[in-house]
Structures are given as C-alpha cells and as structure tokens.
Amino acid sequence: MRLGVLDVGSNTVHLLLLDAHAGAHPIPAFSHKVELHLSQLTDEQGAIVPSGIERLCYVVAHALRVAEDKGAEEMLAFATSAVREAANGDEVLAKVREETGVELEVLPGPDEAKLTFLAVRRWFGWSAGRLLVLDIGGGSLEIAVGLDELPDVMESLPLGASRLTHDRLKGDPPGPEELRELRRYVRHEIAKGVSRVARVGRPDRVVITSKTFRQLARIAGAAPSAQGLYAPRSLRARDLTEWVPRLAQMSTAQRAGLPGVSEGRAAQLLAGAVVADAAFDLFNVEVADLCPWALREGVILRRLDTLVS
C-alpha cells in the first residue's frame, strides 16, 4: 500500500510517500516539501500570526492534493513543536481541519524522540546494541537512549536550530558575546538530562538524524546525497569542534555556499552546530553515525505495526 506522511515542522512542511506493507521496509516513492519556517511566523505572545495560519492551510491543502494525485491510500499528518508550543495551537489545528479536512496529530516532544528512536533501531537492527539517538529539529532537540525498540529515556529540549537562531542570534554573523551566551544556555539545558541518560548505561552506538546533522556531516567530509541512501556517513566530535568557530565567522550567504547546505537552512546552521557540539561533549561522543530514517519513518513504522500481515 502507498502511505503518505505529512510532517508540519518548525522549518518545513514535508510530505513523504512510501510504498509499504507489514513485514517489509518502507520504500520512498515521492517527496514534496515547502520551507514555511512556521516557528518564526509568531507574534510577541508566541501565537502564530494569521498570515502564517493562512499559509499553512494552503500548503497542507496542496500537499493533500499531491498525495491524492500520487495514489496515497492513507495519509498520516502530524505537527511538532511549532504548533505544539504556539499560544494559539488549538486555533491553528481547528483552522487547518476546517479549511483542508486534515486532522493534524500534535506529537508531544517525548513521542518525537520515541518514534525517531524506533526508526533508528529498525534501520541499524539489534546488533547495534544500546543506542543513543540525537535529533536536532527546528524547534527542539530530541534525545533517546535504550536497548530495545522503545527507548528507556526520552528527552525533548527547546534547543531547535531555527528557534535558537530566531531568539538568540541577531547578528550576521553574530558577535562573540552573543555566541557565548548561546553556548552557555545550550550546555546548561543539555546538562540537565545527562545524568538520566548516563543511568541507563553507556551506549554501544551513537546515532544522529535530521537535516541539521546531515549538513554538518556533509561539510565535515561525509559522502554527498548523490552517493545514495546506503552510503555510510558519520560525524566526528573533533570536526564539530573545528567547524563551530569557522561557521561563527561566516555570514548566512557564505554558509549557503558550503557543500550540502541549502540557502533556507544556512542561517540556522551555526546554532545547530553549537547544539551538536554541546551534545557530543556532554555525552562523551567521539563519533556518531548518521541515520537516513527519522521521525517520518518512525510514524510510518508505527502504522505498519498495526497492520495484519
């Protein structure tokens, strides 16, 4: 069957269509995405502005038509931190439902971590042992660790790359004090959960997911996307440490010229690197493997698990 998953994130509204059935791995069939940057379309009270709601409804309606045109039998639609934390989140959900007929499921932060962990576990298998999974989204950082298909510890922290850039980095490039304050804040937030993760036991493998980590791995020398889904890719802590000050001296336009960095994500790459560097340091990570599956695939896998073979 062809399933669609619509991910309304802080940066992007992403429709992914997969051909899947119980007992088989999902095969990507079509991808459609729009960079909406919903988390930045807010007022001083944290409510998504009317123009942002209108734009979201248009994008969701278009994605629904695309899914129908491509033969999707079912569409799973969800929203993450941008809608979850909006002061008018319920109003946004009601308007999307009224205008498009799409019922967005708002995923709590721990559920994001859990579903991403599920996708990573299925990708790497049981032989990977205890996994520590890190995912930097637009609005939040998800952390999960465990030995089974579901994690023993799940954390969701307000450390998304888009959120931090919008709230804490005003200069282009930012000044040294701005960067220092960001670094201090990020490390303080991550440090709160270090003991909970440590109590579970040292991971056998550290895995990273998300666009931010893919871009950081790419500029540090990982294989480009042209080499395919199965090319092994990783990111080393020492490369991150070297790249943070380099990114801090670049303007957004200069970062957009780096390999694998899209123009729409270039502004937030520095904040993402600060979060990644802090997480690697505080969790004593020397190297992490990049997983091509993440939250969207986790949502699909959860749905497939409910099907009868």
CB 234 within 8 A of CB 206: no
pLDDT in tens, 150-189: 999 999 999 999 999 999 999 999 999 999 999 999 999 9
Q: Do domains 2-106 and 109-295 have the same CATH topology?
A: yes
Does the pLDDT at position 23 exceed 90?
A: no
Closest CA to 19 of 11, 29, 9, 10: 29
CB 77 within 8 A of CB 100: no
User: Omega of the bond prior to 173 within 30 degrees of 0, cis?
Assistant: yes
- Predicted local confidence at residue 308, as pLDDT: 54
Strands 12-19 vs 74-79: parallel, antiparallel or unpaired: unpaired
Residues whose CB falls within 8 Å of the CB of residue 122, separated by 6 or more in sequence, listed in order: 25, 149, 293, 297, 301
CA–CA dist 139, 257 (Å, integer): 24
Provide the CATH number for the domain formed by 2-106 in this structure.
3.30.420.40
> 99-108: b or e for each residue (b if 16 or more CB lie within 10 Å)?
ebebebebbe
Percent of the chain with pLDDT over 90: 93
The conformational region for residue 260 under phi > 0 = left, psi -120 to 50 = alpha, else beta, is: left
Highest averaged pLDDT of the listed ranges 8-22, 58-72, 291-305: 58-72
The conformational region for residue 81 under phi > 0 = left, psi -120 to 50 = alpha, else beta, is: alpha
Task: Say how many Å lie between the first and final Cα of the chain, rounded.
Answer: 12
> 132-165: b or e for each residue (b if 16 or more CB lie within 10 Å)?
bbbbbbbbbbbbbbbbeeebbbbbbbebbbbbbb
- Predicted local confidence at residue 52, as pLDDT: 97
pLDDT in tens, 194-243: 999 999 999 999 999 999 999 999 999 999 999 998 999 999 999 999 99
Calculate the alpha carbon distances from 279 to 31, 54, 198, 308 in Å: 30, 36, 13, 40
Provide the CATH number for the domain formed by 109-295 in this structure.
3.30.420.150
CA–CA dist 49, 58 (Å, integer): 15
Does the pLDDT at position 81 exceed 70?
A: yes
Residues 139, 145, 149, 152, CA torsion sign: negative
Does the pLDDT at position 309 exceed 60?
A: no
Q: Is 192 helix (H, G, I), strand (E, B) or coil?
A: coil
pLDDT in tens, 95-123: 999 999 999 999 999 999 999 999 999 99
Residues 14, 20, 26, 30, CA torsion sign: negative
pLDDT in tens, 262-302: 998 999 999 999 999 999 999 999 999 999 999 999 999 99
CB 186 within 8 A of CB 278: yes
Residues 80, 84, 90, 91, CA torsion sign: negative
Q: Is 172 helix (H, G, I), strand (E, B) or coil?
A: coil
pTM of the model: 0.94
Residues whose CB falls within 8 Å of the CB of residue 305, separated by 6 or more in sequence, listed in order: 22
Task: Show the beta-strand stretches assigned E in the chain.
Answer: 2-8, 12-19, 27-35, 74-79, 105-106, 131-136, 141-146, 153-157, 205-209, 234-236, 287-290
- Give 307's pLDDT tier (boundaries 50, 70, 90): confident
Domain parsing of the chain, residue ranges: 2-106, 109-295
- Give 24's pLDDT tier (boundaries 50, 70, 90): confident
